[in-house]
Chain A
């Protein structure tokens, strides 16, 4: 009996599951969580779609004429295009660099000969404990015109840079901040993945004369594909929703040069003259981008199999 349940616990549970009374108990147990998710995610998502087809200020809203007016307006909105472009700059530059570094760090930490593993891991993972606005303000202070970074570079004869006042450097500081905050987070996923890899595959490649780099690219990385896919989707999802860094680090500036879509959405919906309908249209662009990019990534992830 014990041997049977040890090898086939799922089958046993299925049998329990067919018991009607227990089946109902199970539904009862998951009801509160399911109802909450429907009420706080699915219902508002549909309400936002309806809202995006309406115009008006504050709470006085009417159907737009034409119905897709808000979406049409987006096409001619230069600030929106700027924030869309910024978000993609962050996505295309930061995410690949971060995942590569995280992968390299995880690979180093997974080496059996490494000394001081716990220290390295804790130090690199520690930024994940900081709130996004908290680290944004630390970076804002360090990159102030009269701040630490300029003083440090000044010691090497570099002229002071107005980091947050120039479009390119403001975006670069946001990217640097994102790398600081999230590389360790992704490294933890890769470490978990590496620990599931059979070390004998790596030893075998070594025996066949492959060098470390070849082993990494040809043996380790292919086996990590599901985790790489997961981290890529999570990072894409997170980047498309960036708000805190844009808000607290650069305040979207200069002008709108580093502002993200979510920041612009907040500005439209909750500052000055709130325009919920137009804000909802922006939020639907984000929703559709998240869905489309996840779909594309899943397709690419599957194709390589």
Chain B
């Protein structure tokens, strides 16, 4: 009995923080189905204005186009980042040499460079190349990150050397060993790296805001901010847009939560 009582503060703390964590999400969810007046009068039950909000939202903004841009950016970034960072991590670990260790240490320094300090010159370069307003310019700065390379390098330590030797004896060249043996063996790492890259790319705001100037070219995060910037905000419509902007990453998160956790903590092991 006393033992049980001792656990009460712990459960209470967990409970309070869980309510705090979930409430804003619940608020967003129900508000998407309510009119603006209902949102402001703090109605916390699902309402009947979902359809009406959808119509108003699609009249105000080209949601499908923004969804398409966001999807293209997030998927493009993920595919390219997985290829480029995995082969680099593999190269660092499997063909280990002192020179490569030095290079890795230098590349890791890039993690400490704030994006703010590279943003203006990056904008100037992409402007010179005529790539302002192109999704390509949004993707390029996100495809090679020290964190992903480190993640692939660390997990490549578990890649068995015997397989490598056997494949060489069988006459496979080095690139096919990577493509046909390494990738399938490291599925878990690829999933973890893929989830963090997708979520980061989908949610990124500052760089797309800088490089996508034309109003018609916008990502979902940009769309919701633009929607809130008008003189009169329709809160029901806004919460629906926020919900739509969050749905892809929340769904990915709920399905691949473990991979996401492994992705963000994996590089430290």
Contacts and interface: CB of A to CB of B under 8 A. Distances in A.
Contacts of A163: none
A137 B257 contact: no
A237 B146 CA distance: 15
Contacts of B242: 134, 137-138
Interface in A151-210: 151-152, 180, 183-185, 188-189, 192
A141 interface: yes
Contact of A124 (B17, B93, B203): B17
Q: Which of B28, B85, B103, B265 has the most CB of A within 10 A?
A: B265
Contacts of B6: 212
Contacts of B146: 37
Nearest to A152: B42
A139 interface: yes
Interface in B184-228: 199, 202-206, 209-210, 220-221, 224-225, 228
A123 B20 CA distance: 10
Nearest to B235: A141
B268 A142 contact: no
Contacts of A104: 13
A142 B115 contact: no
B96 A13 contact: yes
Contact of A133 (B10, B121, B157, B205): B205
Contacts of A43: 121
Contacts of A131: 202-205, 220-221, 245-246, 249
Interface stretch (B48-56, B59-67, B137-145): B137-145
B117 A283 contact: yes
Contacts of A75: none
A227 B268 CA distance: 9
B268 A189 contact: yes
A188 B10 contact: no
Interface in B12-62: 13-14, 17-18, 20-22, 24-25, 27-28, 31, 39-42
Nearest to B157: A9
**Range class of the B interface residue count:** 35 or more
Interface in A248-295: 248, 261-262, 265-266, 269-270, 276, 279-280, 282-284, 286-287, 290-291, 294
A134 B116 contact: no
Given A124-B21, A134-B245, A286 B116 contact: yes
Contact of B249 (A13, A18, A29, A130): A130
Contacts of B149: 30, 33
Given A142-B24, A287-B117, A17 B162 contact: no
Contacts of B178: 29
Contact of B92 (A26, A44, A192, A248): A26
Q: Which of A33, A48, A59 has the most CB of B within 10 A?
A: A33
Contacts of A266: 206, 209-210
Contacts of A290: 112-114
B97 A134 contact: no
B143 to A, nearest CB: 7
Interface in A116-159: 120, 122-135, 137-142, 144, 146-148, 151-152
Contacts of A26: 91-92, 94-97, 100
A224 to B, nearest CB: 12
Interface stretch (A62-70, A78-86, A89-97, A238-246): A238-246
B17 A183 contact: yes
A161 to B, nearest CB: 15
Interface in B132-165: 140-141, 143-146, 149, 157, 160-162, 164
B18 A138 contact: no
A272 to B, nearest CB: 14
A212 B257 CA distance: 30
B110 A37 contact: yes
Given A45-B113, A290-B114, A22 B21 contact: no
B116 A40 contact: no
Contacts of A135: 24
B170 interface: no
Contact of B100 (A30, A47, A125, A279): A30
B92 A30 contact: yes
Contact of A48 (B97, B121, B160): B121
7 contacts: A30-B92, A40-B118, A42-B113, A44-B122, A108-B14, A283-B116, A290-B113
Given A13-B93, A137-B225, A148-B27, 5 more contacts: A41-B113, A131-B221, A189-B268, A265-B119, A287-B116
